[in-house]
């Protein structure tokens, strides 16, 4: 940057400055010491505050002294806060030791602490009312003495005592008839002498009181639960039988493979079987063989690696073939079983479960049959091309090719006859030669002989 006066000094900001060089260009920035600041191009000691000190400006704002001894910008406290000692603290909400019911939990009493903030103080079993725990649940009763009771009002406080009345005593908050008579063992039960469906219990006050209404009647100091010999399911695999006293017996497991349904054990629908030992494939697991057990229920028997077919583990994948030997194979039936070995036939061998023609030549090899060039492909002779009429098929150095008749052929090698070609046999070649000689003789007698 041009335009400065060589030797002049200028502040870049409050912590750095630069000097104009002899070329009228500002030099690199230079920095003041930590306790200094740049004023009019000069680093001078700061004056103001102790770094780190915090100071309230009013009840809701404050500032902090920066690292260079200068007060930083004003900071403001959040909603519900006031500034105290340079820090924001919650605004006082209450007077010390004041109580209230928690606005978010009706079962909690809160008390005001020394900083004027509400704190959870006491959990109430029956709820909070007016900053204190309720004594009881509204509507409950309790015995005041043997012949009086109290009732809990809507504020959770016990009301005044009330008499049970003549011929009644108070027991567990209830007034009961004393005419049922006293009892000696608290908690004992008996059937009512005049009501066959009522079970009575000895109360804490030592008197019999009505306890439970028995829908099936009361017998042997118990409510009858069931009819003797009846059964019911406890869960999906256990049941109970009703005993002679009309009470349900202990839980009993269903036989293996059966489930409890409609008060009795039975095999699940579709899992019953008639003959122990017979097998099937699991309807829910394609790789599982199931066997009929002693309870005439199909149960898991054998896990298969290649699937289950017709009640046995498959030996193979249906529809595939496997080699049984060098020249035979076996087929996998729809039931996953391998057939007896099947011969491939003469001239064939088995490869990866498929019968292939036995190789009679080496791939890439060529030979001649008459004027036709054959090439070996996949071990079998195949026609490659036919030589033109003025060419001969010639074999040389392990290959075969067409060559004009005027060219002296290379001594051919005896070709190997392909097994699948339409090549000529020795007899056919002899007959062909005879036809040529007969043709030549005919031409001679018709045209050349004079």
Mean pLDDT of the chain: 84
Specify whether the CB–CB gap between 278 and 293 falls below 8 A: no
pLDDT over threshold 90, residue 30 = yes
Model pLDDT for residues 158-217, shown as the tens digit of each residue: 999 999 888 788 888 888 777 677 888 888 999 988 888 999 998 877 888 889 999 999
The total of other beta-carbon atoms located within 10 Å of residue 6's CB is 11
pLDDT at 445: 53
Model pLDDT for residues 380-415, shown as the tens digit of each residue: 888 988 999 889 899 888 788 898 987 555 544 444
User: Whole-angstrom Cα distance, residue 215 to residue 223?
Assistant: 8
Give whichever of 142-146, 208-212, 247-251 has the largest mean pLDDT: 247-251
pLDDT at 302: 92
User: Whole-angstrom Cα distance, residue 375 to residue 385?
Assistant: 9
Alpha-carbon Rg for the chain, nearest whole angstrom, is 57
> What one-character-per-residue DSSP string does 270-317 give?
T-B-SSTT-EEE-SS-TTEEEEE-TTSBEEEEEE-SS-EETTEE-SS-
Specify whether the CB–CB gap between 228 and 213 falls below 8 A: no
Residues forming beta bridges with residue 303, ordered by sequence position: 288
Measure Cα distances from 306 to 284, 286, 310 in Å: 16, 9, 13
Residues forming beta bridges with residue 218, ordered by sequence position: 223
């Amino acid at each position: 940057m041009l335009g400065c006066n060589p030797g002049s000094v200028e502040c870049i900001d409050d912590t750095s400055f630069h000097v104009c060089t002899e070329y009228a260009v500002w030099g690199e920035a230079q920095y003041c010491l930590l306790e200094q600041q740049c004023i009019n191009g000069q680093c001078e000691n700061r004056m103001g505050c102790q770094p780190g000190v915090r100071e309230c400006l009013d009840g809701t704002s404050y500032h902090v002294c920066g690292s260079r001894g200068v007060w930083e910008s004003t900071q403001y406290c959040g909603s519900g806060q006031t500034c105290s000692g340079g820090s924001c603290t919650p605004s006082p909400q209450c007077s010390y030791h004041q109580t209230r019911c928690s606005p978010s939990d009706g079962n909690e009493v809160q008390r005001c602490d020394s900083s004027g903030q509400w704190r959870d103080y006491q959990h109430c079993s029956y709820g909070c009312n007016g900053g204190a725990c309720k004594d009881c649940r509204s509507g409950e009763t309790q015995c005041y003495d043997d012949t009086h009771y109290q009732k809990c009002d809507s504020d959770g406080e016990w009301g005044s005592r009330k008499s049970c009345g003549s011929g009644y005593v108070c027991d567990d908050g209830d007034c009961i008839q004393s005419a049922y008579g006293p009892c000696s063992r608290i908690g004992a039960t008996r059937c009512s002498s005049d009501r066959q469906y009522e079970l009575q219990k000895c109360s804490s006050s030592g008197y019999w009181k009505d306890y439970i209404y028995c829908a099936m009647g009361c017998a042997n100091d118990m409510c009858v639960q069931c009819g003797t010999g009846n059964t019911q399911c406890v869960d999906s695999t256990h049941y109970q039988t009703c005993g002679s006293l009309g009470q349900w017996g202990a839980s009993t497991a269903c036989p293996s493979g059966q489930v409890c349904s409609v008060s009795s054990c039975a095999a699940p629908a579709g899992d019953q079987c008639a003959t122990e030992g017979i097998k099937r494939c699991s309807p829910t697991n394609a790789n599982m063989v199931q066997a009929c057990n002693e309870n005439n229920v199909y149960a898991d028997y054998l896990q298969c690696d290649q699937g289950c077919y017709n009640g046995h583990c498959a030996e193979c994948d249906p529809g595939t073939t496997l080699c049984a030997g060098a020249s035979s194979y076996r087929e996998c039936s729809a039931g996953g079983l391998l057939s007896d070995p099947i011969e491939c036939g003469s001239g064939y061998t088995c490869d990866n479960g498929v019968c292939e023609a036995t190789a009679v030549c080496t791939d890439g090899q060529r030979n001649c049959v008459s004027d036709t060039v054959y090439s070996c492909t996949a071990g079998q002779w195949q026609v490659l091309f036919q030589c033109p009429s003025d060419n001969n098929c010639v074999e040389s150095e392990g290959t075969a090719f067409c060559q004009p008749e005027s060219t002296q052929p290379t001594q051919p090698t005896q070709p190997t006859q392909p097994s699948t070609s339409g090549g000529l046999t020795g007899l056919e070649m002899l007959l062909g030669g005879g036809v040529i000689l007969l043709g030549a003789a005919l031409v001679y007698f018709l045209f050349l002989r004079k």
